[in-house]
Structure 1
Amino acid sequence: MATPPPAPKQRWYKTLWQAYTVTARTDKKLPWILGALLLVPLGTGIVLAVISTGLGTKIYAPLTGLMTGVVLALFVLTRRFEKQMYAQMDGTLGGSLAVAQSLRRGWQFADEPVAVDAKSKAVVFQGIGDGGIVLLAEGGRAAKRTVDNTTSRLHKLAPGVPVTPIYVGNGENEVPLKRLNKAIKATKTKSFGWGLRKGLSAGDQQTVRARLRALGGPQIPIPKGIDPNRARADRKGLRGR
């Protein structure tokens, strides 16, 4: 069977326009803010060009003002878009996974949870990166037992690899979505200390992933598209085969 061709990549300007339209639907101040950020530096550059007698200033002042306005507008659009996305994902199942998978370097998070407690509605996602293994726990403090069991199992499957649980939420001792990626990155320094060469190398990370895949452990039968809240853990796996 012939391999289907890869989907064409979306142009950057289309992605930018989508981010703007999505954000502007609820952020009514956004067009005015972006317009001011674009026009004020450009206007300043034009004024400098008019009052200046130097040829270089007349040429480069408007260009510098335009580029400055574009950079500021893109920065503000990105921040306000992220803020809106975090607000929409806050409290939704799998919101922490969506945020964590946006990390571009150093971490990989599996699409499916590694532990689910239907009674407490706790869900735990697993990521492996240069800071070791991170467990993202959704469900508040009710997820503690599930996290403890998962942590104990991972210590046996991957001895010597740090396992850091992060409880995601807006309560006490929980990490909100907007700070989640920062908390994940901080595990490298927390577990291995400062230094460019500190942490798990790419080869070590691949070894850990392969070991976890090979040894497995309790497998949670959750096909894609199934609500993890309705899933039931494999009791035989929990007792050990």
Structure 2
Amino acid sequence: MARKDSQQSDTPSKQGRVAQVRQVYTAARQVDRTIPWWMLLAALGVIVVCVGVGVVVGHWLYALVLSIPLAFLAALLVLSRRAERAAYRSLEGQPGAAGAALGSLRRGWYFDQQPVAVDGARGARPEDMVGAAFVYRAVGRPGVVLIGEGPDARRGKLLATERRKIERVAPGVPVVAVVVGDGADQVPVRKLSTKLTRMKPVLTKEEVSAVNKRLKSLGGLRPPIPAGMDPLRARVDRKAMRGR
């Protein structure tokens, strides 16, 4: 009876992972129509290589059977990468894109996907957010990173104000400003998390935690900002890829 219950509980889990992969594929294909062709190319490439090796060693049939799960894994890997790119592409130009991109940061960072400062927002609808400036804050071993997006004048004032607040409650801690955009000296939203993780570490883990606690005293802003697509959620579940 216990074994039967275990099998019944595993079935919905597998179905859920398949549904998740299907959902990721559907959402990504709306942005990138070439995804199925890249997946097919990856799968065929793996099969050709495996069969070729099998022919050389004299076991091409065995190699063909072995290549099928490997081809499926390669297709899922391509889907994961292309879906992530599609998610970032859908974020570009949207208000609050930087906040959604912060969700891809790895462990060791403290951040909030809601901005700590907004200038120009007058409503909760996306069209009301166009032209507004946002500032987000992330704390890690490189120090405090302020991420700004929006028009230059408004963004610059917000960044300067937030820098003064941080220097008041956490003196001596490095404060770095990063501007999200496609202009000169700006970081595209798809490269934001990479930019932050490649910064030179100057604080210890204990210092990062202490600084984050100090910054919490500044409070935060909770405007009704429309959420964008989180690139992290656009990735394929690793368990689904392994077929567990």
Q: Say yes or no: TM over 0.5.
A: yes
Aligned mate of 2:141, from 125, 130, 134: 130
User: SS of 2:178's equivalent?
Assistant: strand
Residue correspondence of structure 1 range 125-204 to structure 2 within 5 A: 125-142=136-153, 143-187=155-199, 189=200, 192=202, 199-201=203-205, 203-204=206-207
User: SS of 2:40's equivalent?
Assistant: helix
Q: Is the 8 A contact 1:113 1:126 kept in 2?
A: yes
Aligned mate of 1:34, from 36, 39, 43: 39
Which stretches of structure 1, 4 residues or more, deviate above 6 A after TM superposition? none
Aligned twin of 1:205:
208
Cα deviation, 1:60-119, whole Å, max 9, x if unaligned, reads x33553454344323322222122111211111111111112213121212432222228
Q: Is the 8 A contact 1:115 1:123 kept in 2?
A: yes
Q: 1:11 to 1:117 in 2, by over 3 A?
A: same
User: SS of 1:206's equivalent?
Assistant: helix
Measure, in 1, the Cα distance between the counterparts of 2:167 and 2:43: 53
Q: 1:200 to 1:43 in 2, by over 3 A?
A: same
User: SS of 1:166's equivalent?
Assistant: strand
Q: 1:171 to 1:181 in 2, by over 3 A?
A: same
Q: 1:226 to 1:79 in 2, by over 3 A?
A: closer
TM-score computed with the length of structure 2 as normaliser: 0.71
Structure 1: runs of 5 or more not aligned:
1-7, 193-198, 228-241
Cα deviation, 1:123-174, whole Å, max 9, x if unaligned, reads 1011112221111101142211210121122011111211111100111111
Aligned twin of 1:83:
85
Structure 2: runs of 5 or more not aligned:
1-12, 122-130, 227-244
Cα deviation, 1:8-31, whole Å, max 9, x if unaligned, reads 9x9544332222111223433222
Number of aligned positions between the proteins: 204
User: SS of 1:25's equivalent?
Assistant: helix
Aligned twin of 1:230:
none
CA RMSD, Structure 1 to Structure 2 (Å): 2.9
Measure, in 1, the Cα distance between the counterparts of 2:48 and 2:23: 27
Measure, in 2, the Cα distance between the counterparts of 1:12 and 1:106: 28
TM-score computed with the length of structure 1 as normaliser: 0.72
Q: Is the 8 A contact 2:117 2:136 kept in 1?
A: yes
Q: Percent identity?
A: 30
User: SS of 2:139's equivalent?
Assistant: strand
Q: 1:145 to 1:26 in 2, by over 3 A?
A: closer
Measure, in 2, the Cα distance between the counterparts of 1:32 and 1:22: 16
Measure, in 1, the Cα distance between the counterparts of 2:31 and 2:215: 43
Q: Is the 8 A contact 1:140 1:167 kept in 2?
A: no
